[in-house]
Structure 1
Amino acid sequence: MIRVENLRKAYRGVVALDGLDLDVAEGSIAALLGPNGAGKSTLIRILATLLRPDSGRAEVGGRSVTAQPYQVRALIGLTGQFTAVDDLLTGHENLVLVGRLYRLSGKEAHRLADELLGAFELGGVAGRRAGTYSGGMRRRLDLAAGLMTRPRALFLDEPTTGLDPRSRRTLWSAIRRLPEQGTTILLTTQYLEEADRLASAVTVIDRGRAIATGTPEQLKARAGGARAEVVLADPRQAPTATEVMSRYGARPTLEGETVTVPVAESALPDLLRDLDTAGVPITGLALRRPTLDDAFLALTGGDS
């Protein structure tokens, strides 16, 4: 649905995109992760025909964003980092306005507005001015506005920025349902949990280039396997514990009373038995699997 090849863009000598490649399958949710300034928003603006690339190719639904911008705009919706709703209009009026701007008939605009307000749990406040909405309600209204034309591709540029955890999860639920209705989603986010929960494919970009692509699980695997974290009852036993645990993986690390070593989950019973045989009492044991945060930091070198 979305194809980007060798895309380049620079602002006054500052390179934003440096030969970026990206493919997003139709009917999927794909996430773009990267440090601040990596080029995520620049890519979204190019795909939305708001910005022209210097070179390379970008297509949405088989249409070129540079040669066929009007055809591309008919296929897409966009929700930016900041809500674009009119505070003086009601929730219902906001959606009808967007529908009419897209040349829907009055009857169709009202029908679709009612449908979307219900789907985003805003039916009870449809008659209230948007200026009285909470931050989470405004973000849901903004997302609903982006769907008034039933876009085949929807670009979400950090859609949950500034929302509290409950509002964020409510919006996630709404986003998850969209591919079932035929909408392909490309989102940028600073919340790695968001990408992990929503996306079937994640692309990590850094300095304008794609440095890794895969499912969340595949990217996590690149950060290494699981780690056993053993909390010692007596810190003086650290040398013995370290010697025992080194049999199960790379050199263990010691931080305070906790010794950590990469280990296969199936080896945990043997590890506990060997520690007991060596006379090393412990007060805690945890198996820590790699997170998308670990993968992100490993791939980008910890930049922020």
Structure 2
Amino acid sequence: MTTDWAEIACEVPAAMVDSLAAFLVELTGNGVSIENLHLDTFSLDSLEDSPVKQVKGYLPLDPALEETRSKVERFLVEHGPSFDGFVYVPPVVSTIRNEDWANNWKAYFKPVRIGERMVIKPTWEEYQEAEGDLMIQIDPGMAFGTGAHPTTRMCLESLERIWLQHGNGTLPEPALDVGTGSGVLSIAAALMGAQRIVAVDIDPEAVRVTEENLAINGVADRVAASTTDLAELKEEFGVVLANILAEELVRLSAQLIAVVRPGGWLILSGILTEKAAMVSAAFSTLTAVEAPTEAEWSCLTFRKEERG
């Protein structure tokens, strides 16, 4: 059965796109599109140089729509005046067919090389692998991310650096992927040799998409994907990855620190650079290792000290 979705379109100055996109993702739990280009979750790539952008959020067409529209209006009214050139324009709500959205954005998702060894390829594209490539095939489903956005790319590059410096050619195990989305990070961990990976997401649809992508990449036997709450995980992990919003990272900081084993690694992403210091402060009990940035985003890597 085809589902109808609501599209909420907002016109804002270019400087406001970043904060509005992050707000819509947090509010709706889905991806955003910008100037009619359906991009990766949060994606600000391929924007044209115009002073006003159109940012669109998506959510099911249900009784909660009016409340969501009101929240978007309040966000624009409260935050818009802080940006030069802002003129309040009420958000426009329209209906879009699931099947149309699910196919139109595919034209913008192409194979991309990340780090030294990884290539992310959509399942419908051809790509000639080079020797030693770690090929990650992805069918993201609706709005769960292709892996090409800076937040995910920096996570993957940090993970690869840990893998390459780890003496026996595999990742420290087990691995934990918090907010797995389409499963890109879990698949990468498996291709880097991890034999047991736990992937969790609050959205059952994300878990379904992840399980499909695990099967496509032949690593389903190594990854357990579920909606298990982070607080319910009692074991410790050699590598923990969390690519979620900065505020959520801070809220979950105690739980994330607790699941990193002594000597283990914690990679945090989804962080606007202006919020990186706030996130770092919440993880001050760990040793900061690196903090690469790309565009407006930061990725923070920490290590937990060995037990004395």
TM-score, with structure 2 as normaliser: 0.25
Structure number with the higher helix fraction is 1
